[in-house]
Amino acid sequence: MNVKIAPSWKLKLQDEFEKDYFKEVTAFVKQEYQAHAVYPPGPLIFNAFDKCSFEDTKVVIIGQDPYHGSGQANGLSFSVNDGVKIPPSLKNIFKEIQDSLGKDIPKSGNLEHWAEQGVLMLNAVLTVRAKTPRSHRGKGWEKFTQAVIELINQEKENVVFILWGKDAQERGQNIDQDKHCILASAHPSPYSAHNGFFGNNHFVLANEYLQKYGKTMIDW
């Protein structure tokens, strides 16, 4: 697969790419792209790692699967391409930013500007078959993204991990809370946002933590 990835991630993940399970994931994904419509487009599978290098990563937002509608997924969790209707979960994310930081709700749901500031928007599963949510779960992607989380946990300090919903919280259960900041709440989905996502103040708390450790705050 012709994918773009920041050199620092390529180096850090080289051993992972050589493992048998990852070769199996690669073979499965190649076959899926040949036989079906799959998202995101092939070159953007590792977009989260291309737009936010290992050394720049200071916030990690863990999502689930890519969006499965045409033209939506761009390889960053929760983000959609310019010109695409903003999905309900992202609308709720923008609403929480508006309520806690007083910012206007953006016209575009493209979150690349977050990635460029050091926010790694990592889906647990990096690909999905069109109109078939969860279709690429259990194929090995989760093992890979768990290795990424563990790498950040071990090799970096004072990273903010934002864990919305049960799936994300399970992925983050081994993060060292003495070294990092963990912000956990309900998922921004319309089904659960009123159960603790709204009012979680995560965007404010993340910036306060970054500032405390001498890091540039994120312009959410």
Which residues are marked as active site?
A: 65
Q: How far apart are CA 213 and CA 182, in angstroms?
A: 15
Q: Judge whether 84 and 72 are in contact, CB under 8 Å.
A: yes
Buried b (16+ CB within 10 A) or exposed e, 107-122: eebbbbebbebbbbbb
According to DSSP, the β-strands at 38-39 and 160-164 are unpaired
HSE (side-chain half, CA atoms, 13 Å) at 41: 9
- DSSP conformational letter for 116: T
Q: How far apart are CA 29 and CA 19, in angstroms?
A: 16
